[in-house]
Amino acid sequence: MTGTTRSSADLEPRRKRLLFHAWHRGTREMDLLLGRFADETIDQWSEDDVAEMEALMRLPDTELYRWITEQDDVPPNHRSALLDRVIAFHKGQ
């Protein structure tokens, strides 16, 4: 079981891949952090958001986890509006 609560049937291919990858990061913690965010917000992502999420998915879990949980500051070269929304989403959970 993936954990996702959202069907990907109505998504275009890039978003389908991102939804799948958000739930299959390699660590359960990251699956839950990114998967839940994707389930709730993927319909609202702009094309820029899709590109930003694709870039985030290329980053190592350990770094991304520490940024999302605010254990470390996000380096300026990785700061993005989408990552800020991921962080805010999990602060509100």
Rounded to 5 degrees, φ, ψ at 6 are: -120, 135
Q: How much is the pTM?
A: 0.88
CATH superfamily for domain 13-91: Flavinator of succinate dehydrogenase (1.10.150.250)
CB 21, CB 55: distance < 8 Å: no
CA dist., res. 71 & res. 10, Å (int): 36
Give the pLDDT confidence of 5-26 residue by residue, as tens digits. Answer: 666 667 889 999 999 999 999 8
Give the pLDDT confidence of 68-91 residue by residue, as tens digits. Answer: 999 999 999 999 999 999 999 999
CA dist., res. 76 & res. 93, Å (int): 25
Give the pLDDT confidence of 42-60 residue by residue, as tens digits. Answer: 999 999 999 999 999 999 9
